[in-house]
Each structure stands twice: as structure tokens, then as C-alpha cells.
Amino acid sequence: MKRHLELPTADREYLEQLVSKGEAPVRLVKRALALLALDRGETLESVAAHQQVENDTVAAWRNRYKRAGLQGLQDKPKPGRPPRIDGVQRAQITALACSDAPEGHGQWSLRLLADKVVELGYSENISHMQVGRILKKTQ
């Protein structure tokens, strides 16, 4: 029987520990389980069936491990622009919207909130539409 992968002892122990803790993302655990199964001598087909993925996916995980080691198990960076407004800023904007409206106004408007967010330094710039989308997600 052909062995598709032979893990060094340290890598095998790391992967077994990763799987047993249950704290890692499911994608990472699936990749770790696949590599451990390949190390035990299972075929690509049986590993793919057990992990409910295609044979090519298991082969790609194996090849990434061979190229990059354990780092190859991690997700690649996602394409696209990173978010401009992080979770802390979203919380600040939501808290501001829940506070009392400024003097002379009965309630917060999205434009008023956007101006106040910039004034308070929560963000360099933000549109009233972005403020609306942030507040809509908190409902």
C-alpha cells in the first residue's frame, strides 16, 4: 500500500493535539484529520469520503503541507480590501446612536451621526450610508 504522506513525529503530535482540543476552526481540524489519516496509510479516496470533500481537495491539502509544512494548513489571506471600520468602531457608533441626541435635535439622523463620529475621532471619514448599514446590522 502506498503511503501518501509520512509526518514527522513533532508534526503528528501537533496535529493530534490540535484535533483533540476542539478549539480550532472546523476547516483546520478537517485538514489535520486528513493529514493524520494519510499518515496512517489511508487512501486519498477514503480520506476524501470521510471528510466529505473531493479527492483533489485532499491531494491539495497534502501538497500544501509538503510545500509549506504546518503553515500550509492555514487559510490563505482573503482577497479584497480589508474592512475600514472595525468592531470597536462599530460599537462606538452604536453606543453614540443610543445616546441622547445633541441639543436642538429631537433624535439622531444618519448624517448627524456621521458628522459626530468624525468629530469624535472614531473614524477619519464615514458616510451616512455606512452609519446606516452599521446600525442596521445591530438590530
**Is 99 among the domain residues?**
yes
Ranges of the chain whose pLDDT falls below 50: none
Same domain, 56 and 17: yes
Residue 55 buriedness (CB in 10 A; 0-12 / 13-18 / 19+): middle
**Is 81 among the domain residues?**
no
CB of 38 closer than 8 Å to CB of 62: yes
Strand positions, DSSP E, 29-116: none
* 5 vs 15: CA distance, rounded Å: 14
Same domain, 17 and 64: yes
List, in order, residues 6 or more apart from 90 with CB less than 8 Å away: 134, 137, 138
**Is 79 among the domain residues?**
no
Same domain, 36 and 69: yes
Same domain, 54 and 108: no
Grid cell for residue 72: 500550509
pLDDT at 137: 78
Angle at 137 between CA 136 and CA 139, to 5 degrees: 70
List, in order, residues 6 or more apart from 97 with CB less than 8 Å away: 108, 113, 131, 135
Structural domain that includes position 99: 87-137
Same domain, 18 and 65: yes
Same domain, 16 and 68: yes
Which H helix or E strand runs over 23? none
